[in-house]
Amino acid sequence: MANLSAVSVFILQGFSTVPAFRLLSTAAFLLVYLAAVLGNVSIVLAVTLNTRLHTPMYFFVKHLSLVDLCSTSTTLPRALVASMADTKEISLPACASQLFAFVCFGSLECFLITSMAFDRCLAIYRPLVYGVTMNSQTCVSLVVVAWVSGLLFSTFHTVNTFSLSFCGPNTIDHFFCDIPPLMRLACGDTAGHEAVGFAVSGCAIMTCFALTCLSYVLIVYTVARVPSSAGRWKAFSTCSSHLATVLLFYGTGSSAYMQPTAHYSPLQGRLAAVFYSILTPTLNPLIYSLRNKDMKDALRKVYPQVLHPAQKLRVLEAAEYRAYKMAPVFDFHQPDETEESHYRLRGAGLMLHHQTRINSQKGGPAR
């Protein structure tokens, strides 16, 4: 690391070089970051607290939300603070740490998306062996492999980038430390480092992409053989959220990393980074919750106070009615006349309570 002593501090350009747009962009990205944190934390809590979502699919969704949360928090908070406080400097160790974390979470998301494609493929293509194959041990093993692969992938790119000499300009034309703008600042010939990095990234990304495509080929092949259109739609709807995530991830990330540094454009790099590092982690919670009834129900239990008063009333009435209907089940002996009277009185009381609450909502007296 002795050849890095020439430059010890980098200067991040920020979201925009135009002062007029700096405050506007900072406010907008702050709102986006808060939305990303709220959405991903909600998904993690909903899956963790709801036992109905303790399935392989939601297990991977929870880890994907956790990775998205960490990925966004790696870049945006520092960029927002730097933009508001006008402190654009970042030390070389901090820059290397940010690059390591960002590449690690980005590659981890790629590996998780591939694991999710395998999970959906197995559920549709081989449903009879799905329950045996995708057990808890298999799911944990896939996540561990994704983490180890992400750490190794990130370590390689961090070493490959910061083993270069930085002795000239130190202004990074970006809002965080990323590989393409750092390569442009390096002294000497970077062709060898760039070629090796491009080859490793291409192998990892294209392998994951090929496996994901193969999974969807098998899914489409299986769904096409379903005789009814309703059955085909039901089978394919279980993959629609994951397919949207795949298109969003590969569509935005490939434009930034699958091109030579010589063709890198700072403006294009910023726009691509906004999509793959900010918008994608923000949209993923919406993708997995908008058309998913189980996830919606789990989120309502996490945030019951956001329900409309009429919805709260219906939820409470349904819960009390279920409690009333289930009450005799918990009695392990034949109920006598007193107990039957107790249940009848309890039912009448519950019905009167329901009617009183409904009338209070309408503004009328209870009958």
Do 339 and 244 fall into the same domain?
no
Tell me the pTM: 0.76
Query: How does DSSP assign 150-204, residue by residue?
Result: HHHHHHHHHHHHHTSB--S--EESSSS--HHHHHHH-BS--HHHHHHHHHHHHHH
Residue 221 lies in a domain: yes
Do 266 and 346 fall into the same domain?
no
Spatial distance between the Cα atoms of 66 and 48, rounded to a whole number of angstroms: 12
Do 125 and 71 fall into the same domain?
yes
How high is the pLDDT of residue 69?
93
Helix (H) or strand (E) holding 57: helix 56-85
How high is the pLDDT of residue 103?
92
Residue 273 lies in a domain: yes
Please identify every stretch of the chain with a pLDDT value under 70, giving residue numbers as ranges.
1-5, 16-17, 253-266, 291, 305-367
Among candidate residues 243, 329, 273, 347, the one with its CA nearest the CA of residue 79: 273
- Domain of 257, CATH number, reads 1.20.1070.10
Do 110 and 165 fall into the same domain?
yes
Query: How does DSSP assign 274-330, residue by residue?
Result: HIIIIIHHHHHHHHHHHT-HHHHHHHHHH-GGGS-HHHHHHHHHHHHHHHHHHGGGG
Query: How does DSSP assign 16-36, residue by residue?
Result: -SSHHHHHHHHHHHHHHHHHH
**Phi, psi dihedral angles at 171 (to 5 degrees):** -95, 115
How high is the pLDDT of residue 88?
81
Do 247 and 338 fall into the same domain?
no
Among candidate residues 103, 115, 185, 102, the one with its CA nearest the CA of residue 146: 115
Residue 173 lies in a domain: yes
**Phi, psi dihedral angles at 169 (to 5 degrees):** -60, 145
Do 263 and 328 fall into the same domain?
no
Do 286 and 311 fall into the same domain?
no
Report the b/e string of 208-241 with b at 16+ CB within 10 A.
bbeebeebbebbeebbeeeeeeeebeebbeebeb
Check if the beta carbon of residue 175 is closer than 8 Å to that of residue 80: no
How high is the pLDDT of residue 63?
94
How high is the pLDDT of residue 197?
87
Domain boundary among 292, 315, 332: 292
Do 358 and 258 fall into the same domain?
no
Reported as a single tens digit per residue, the pLDDT across 4-31 is 447 788 888 877 667 777 778 888 889 9
Q: How deeply is 266 buried, as exposed, middle or buried, from its count of CB atoms within 10 A (0-12, 13-18, 19+)?
A: middle
Cα of first residue to Cα of last residue in the chain, in angstroms, is 83
Residue 170 lies in a domain: yes
Residue 299 lies in a domain: no
Do 86 and 112 fall into the same domain?
yes
Count of domains for the chain: 2
Do 275 and 198 fall into the same domain?
yes
Residue 367 lies in a domain: no
Among candidate residues 171, 180, 216, the one with its CA nearest the CA of residue 201: 180
Is 84 in a helix, a strand, or coil?
helix
Q: For residue 214, give the amino acid letter.
A: L
Do 7 and 156 fall into the same domain?
yes
Among candidate residues 107, 127, 105, 152, the one with its CA nearest the CA of residue 56: 127
Residue 355 lies in a domain: yes
> 327: domain range?
307-362
Residue 297 lies in a domain: no
Domain boundary among 240, 257, 292: 292
